[in-house]
């Protein structure tokens, strides 16, 4: 019986070894496919540390592979299975269901993954080991995050804590994590870094406790709903030499980064106006929680990110108009106007209401247009008076995009960088200032307009 399995096998560790052992036990001969760098790139696998030859050597030195091949393109598995006369295709259970299409060619077996990876088990300590990551929260975003984490090399999600232990247990079982914790401090004791996906108002407390325990923090947006808390957290992270990063996925995606570069380099002249809209149709859920909900706390981080990355943090005036319908617990649509010395900007957010979600950057020589959903930037255009000068730009946006924020977070930790140019602490603080000011000034059943007050 011939068995085949595939993987990147970067930073080869005990989890890799056990998977190969289980695969080999299924038959008489084990064939291992090691992904090429170009294929990893095409499928959105990020932060692969070792070159292909080193990863092949990792598998060779395990002594478990009878034959090693290189996986170079999408669809190669079908070709390999037929060409090599494979009887069983084996893969980790975190890919459950993803390769059922191969059942037409051979038996498909999903192997239980190793729960928890000890850095002492790594064969390549010089590469920095596997970062052990804990998760706070067991909701929708945390679900998507853990699914995306498998596309980032050098990190393993170890455990989860939630205010409801039963939810944490279900989450840990679903994602095959090493453990669900009853106590938040117990989670902190077992990890190097923490991803916070709890309700907005709790972010500051969990981040502070983690930083005080020497744990790096990747925190879902908005980092905080109070600007002073954001300032305190970044100061604490800097003092302790730890990474604190706000998880606004758009900031770290290739297309958005390219768009910002094109606009800032003067392709459309001097930027004079930025208009960004993000709305979504939801009728119930956390978005309507009177404590933390509303369109601003839920969505404003995205359009404000675009504005601040393009125009900076030194706005001189802020005015907001918020709609809170009768009997609504939160505002459901808000328009935020920012004035800069030489530019203006508008951000629109809405829940339970739909508007055209586009980003328009106006310049003195032309304008830049990003269609909806611009926060998942895959395509944008520069347009001019002379249509012949127009250009179109394309980039990939893989999956839910959460892999980009995690990859940046891991890279910062490994490099010892406490700041990222993709989203600086000053920019996260400015976003928190605006969100706090707008939420403070929104009023029931009508419209609020206030000049910005930084006090």
Residue bearing tokens 């020497």: 214
Which pLDDT belongs to residue 285? 85
339: left (phi over 0), alpha (psi -120 to 50) or beta: beta
C-alpha to C-alpha distance for 109 and 343, rounded to whole angstroms: 59
pTM of the full structure: 0.81
Which pLDDT belongs to residue 116? 63
Paired tokens of 233: 């957290």
Domains and CATH numbers, the chain: 2-111 (3.40.50.620), 119-248 (3.40.50.720), 251-441 (3.30.360.10)
Q: What is the pLDDT along the chain (455 residues), one digit of tens a residue?
A: 999 999 999 988 888 999 999 999 999 999 999 999 888 887 888 888 888 998 999 999 999 999 999 999 888 999 899 999 999 999 998 888 989 999 999 999 999 876 665 433 443 333 457 899 999 999 999 999 999 999 998 899 999 999 999 999 999 999 999 999 999 999 999 999 999 999 999 999 999 999 999 999 999 999 999 999 999 999 999 999 999 999 999 999 999 999 999 999 899 999 999 999 999 998 888 889 888 999 999 999 999 999 999 999 999 999 999 998 888 889 999 999 999 999 999 999 999 999 889 999 999 999 999 999 999 999 999 999 999 999 999 998 999 999 999 999 999 999 899 999 999 999 999 999 999 999 987 643 334 444 444 44
Distances (CA, A) of 374 to 133, 209, 270, 309, 361: 30, 35, 21, 14, 12
Peptide bond into 222 cis (omega under 30): yes
């Amino acid at each position: 019986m011939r068995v085949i399995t595939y993987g990147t096998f970067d930073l080869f560790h005990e989890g890799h070894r056990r998977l190969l052992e289980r695969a080999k036990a299924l038959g008489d001969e084990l064939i291992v496919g090691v992904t090429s760098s170009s294929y990893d790139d095409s499928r959105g696998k990020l932060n692969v540390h070792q070159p292909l030859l080193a990863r092949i050597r990792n598998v060779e030195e395990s002594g478990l592979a009878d034959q090693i091949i290189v996986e170079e393109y999408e669809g190669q598995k079908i070709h390999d299975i037929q060409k090599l006369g494979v009887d069983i295709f084996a893969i980790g259970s975190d890919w459950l269901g993803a390769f059922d299409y191969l059942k037409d060619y051979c038996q498909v077996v999903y192997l239980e993954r190793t729960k928890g990876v000890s850095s002492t088990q790594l064969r390549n300590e010089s590469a920095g080991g596997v970062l052990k990551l804990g998760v706070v929260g067991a909701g929708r975003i945390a679900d998507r995050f853990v699914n995306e984490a498998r596309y980032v090399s050098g990190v393993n999600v170890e455990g989860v804590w939630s205010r409801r232990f039963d939810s944490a247990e279900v989450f840990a079982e679903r994602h095959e994590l090493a453990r669900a914790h009853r106590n938040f401090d117990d989670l902190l004791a077992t990890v190097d870094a923490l991803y916070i996906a709890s309700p907005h108002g709790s972010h500051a407390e969990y981040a502070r406790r983690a930083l005080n325990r020497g744990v790096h923090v990747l925190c879902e947006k908005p980092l905080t709903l109070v600007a002073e808390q954001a300032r305190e957290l970044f100061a604490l992270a800097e003092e302790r030499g730890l990474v604190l990063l706000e998880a606004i996925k758009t900031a770290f995606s290739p297309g958005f980064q390219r768009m910002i570069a094109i606009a800032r380099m003067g392709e459309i002249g001097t930027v004079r106006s930025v208009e960004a809209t993000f709305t979504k149709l939801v009728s119930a859920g956390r978005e309507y929680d009177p404590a933390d909900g509303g369109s601003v706390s839920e969505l404003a981080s995205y359009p404000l990110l675009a504005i601040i990355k393009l125009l900076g943090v030194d706005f001189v005036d802020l005015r907001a108009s918020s709609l809170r319908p009768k009997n609504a617990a939160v505002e459901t649509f808000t328009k935020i106007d920012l004035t800069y010395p030489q530019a203006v900007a508008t951000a629109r957010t809405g829940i339970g209401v739909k508007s055209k979600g586009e980003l328009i950057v106006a310049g003195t020589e032309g304008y830049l247009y990003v269609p909806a959903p611009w926060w998942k930037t895959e395509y944008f255009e520069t347009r001019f008076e002379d249509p012949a000068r127009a250009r179109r730009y394309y980039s990939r946006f893989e999956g839910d995009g959460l892999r980009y924020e995690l990859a940046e977070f891991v890279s910062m930790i490994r490099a010892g960088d406490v700041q990222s140019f993709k989203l600086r602490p000053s920019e996260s603080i400015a976003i928190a200032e605006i969100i706090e000011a707008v939420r403070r000034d929104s009023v029931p059943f009508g419209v609020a307009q206030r000049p910005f007050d930084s006090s």
